[in-house]
Amino acid sequence: MMLTRKDYPSIGETLWTGTLPNGLRLRIVPKPGFATRYAVLAADYGGAHRRFTLDGQSVDTPAGVAHYLEHKMFDLPNGDNALNILSANGADPNAFTSSGMTAYYFACTEGFEENLRMLLHFVTTPYFTPETVQKEQGIIAQEIQMGEDSPGNAVFYNLLGQLYENHPVRDKVAGTVESIAEITDRVLYDCHRAFYAPSNLCLCVEGDVDPQRVLEIALDELPGELLPVPEADFGPPESPEPSLRVRREQMAVSAPQFIIGAKVPQAGSGPEFLRQQLVSQLALRLLVGYSSPFYNRLYEQGVLNRDFDYEVYFTAGTGTLLIEGESPDPMAVLAALEQEVARVCREGFDPTRFERAKRASMGARLRGLEDFDNVCVSLAAGVFEGYDALESLQELDSVTARECLDFVRENLAPERLAISIVEPKGATE
């Protein structure tokens, strides 16, 4: 089979793409002369894929299976551990599970082909026994219990529970101590068969590599059968408004932490979805970014400090707007945000500030091209959602102030907003 080449003159990149007969999608960005080589093998499978249909059968799994599977995939049938083998061969390997994706990856300067073969081999070679699964339950249960003491986890998942009544994105990716107790070796084998077929995977590589050689290795190492892709069931449609506007929890923190959030309906898939992501991030930069009137006013008043961030988090068919930080008075931040939204809706965005913010966003994305891990994971996310992540710069350049204003009007109305607060023990409202 042949790979297809596409050049991006404006950013100086080249992308080779292809799809194997077994359905695996390939994305390769050659970087001649660079020492580091990076590869990620990603599955369109995350913590939110708890319910799905495959071969006409509906399956409902406990919370935490995708994360559990990630932990166990490094075990090989001969008793070896792929993590140790990769490390011994000069690679820096790791993995992560989000609500919408599981990814296994490594970076190396030498031994790339051997490391790539190992990556492809262990991710598609399941090996679980009742004994090893039970042993892992204790390890993951400790991880979950440690997370229970994290204010960051609490404020984030409390907000998701306020926004989403049904979608499993509201559940912790690692699950709960109770839910992982239901996970057996049979559950892991079934979910691996469903979601780790090459047709549900994407291999992205960047570095000084030969694209045709990467293709040959993938053909050598992966199963050849083309299998059906599972159909996720994320539950009934969600209301655009939160089920609970304000939630407070007291924990051992020195100052109140907050996240203000809203649901953002995902705009389908493909280029339309890519543009939605770009518009939403630019709109938030304009509205609440470090150079915005909103942030600078609240910073001068001592209501906000440098511990402040914002994003629109798209995963598993959802979009969640997040504005988070630390403040002595989180409800004052919410009130100020509502006032700023009302002002912007009346007056629009200042044209000079809009152009400056767009240039800053483009600069940030250009710098992101220097991070091979960022490029590869972005390419994989684009494959699963039907767009080309390397077209982001060209697409961003055509975003208008009107689109950003429309995004604010549609998604940040007062009735759409919820706030989650974690405050010091003994605090009063």
Q: Domains for the chain: give ranges and CATH numbers.
A: 4-232 (3.30.830.10), 246-424 (3.30.830.10)
Under 8 Å CB-to-CB from 301, ≥6 apart: which residues? Answer: none
- pLDDT score at 174: 94
Token digits for 258?
Answer: 């907050």
Token pair 């580091």 is found at: 36
Q: How far apart are CA 269 and CA 282, in angstroms?
A: 19
Helices (H), 164-246: 177-180, 185-195, 211-221
Nearest to 312, CA basis, from 339, 354, 278, 356: 278
Closest CA to 407 of 330, 344, 363, 339: 344
Bridge partners of 137? none
Q: Tell me, what's the pLDDT at 429?
A: 62
Q: Give the DSSP letter of residue 168.
A: G
pLDDT per residue as tens digits for the range 230-248: 999 999 999 999 999 999 9
* Lookup: tokens for 93: 């390997």
What's the CA gap between 83 and 73, in Å, rounded?
10
Residue 63: exposure state from Cβ atoms within 10 A (0-12, 13-18, ≥19) = buried
Contact 51, 168 (CB under 8 A): yes
Q: Which helix (H) or strand (E) holds 303?
A: none
3-state SS class at 62: coil
User: What backbone torsions phi and psi does residue 382 show, to the nearest 5 degrees?
Assistant: -65, -40
- Of 205, 195, 196, 198, which is closest to residue 380 (Cα–Cα)? 205
pLDDT the model gives residue 269: 85
What number of other Cβ atoms are within 10 A of residue 231's Cβ? 10
Q: What is the largest CA-CA distance in the chain?
A: 67
- The reported pTM is 0.94
- pLDDT < 70 positions in the chain: 429
Q: Tell me the helices (H) and strands (E) count for the chain, helix number first.
A: 15, 15
Angle at CA of residue 75, ends 74 and 76, nearest 5°:
110
Burial class (CB in 10 A: 0-12, 13-18, 19+), 135: exposed
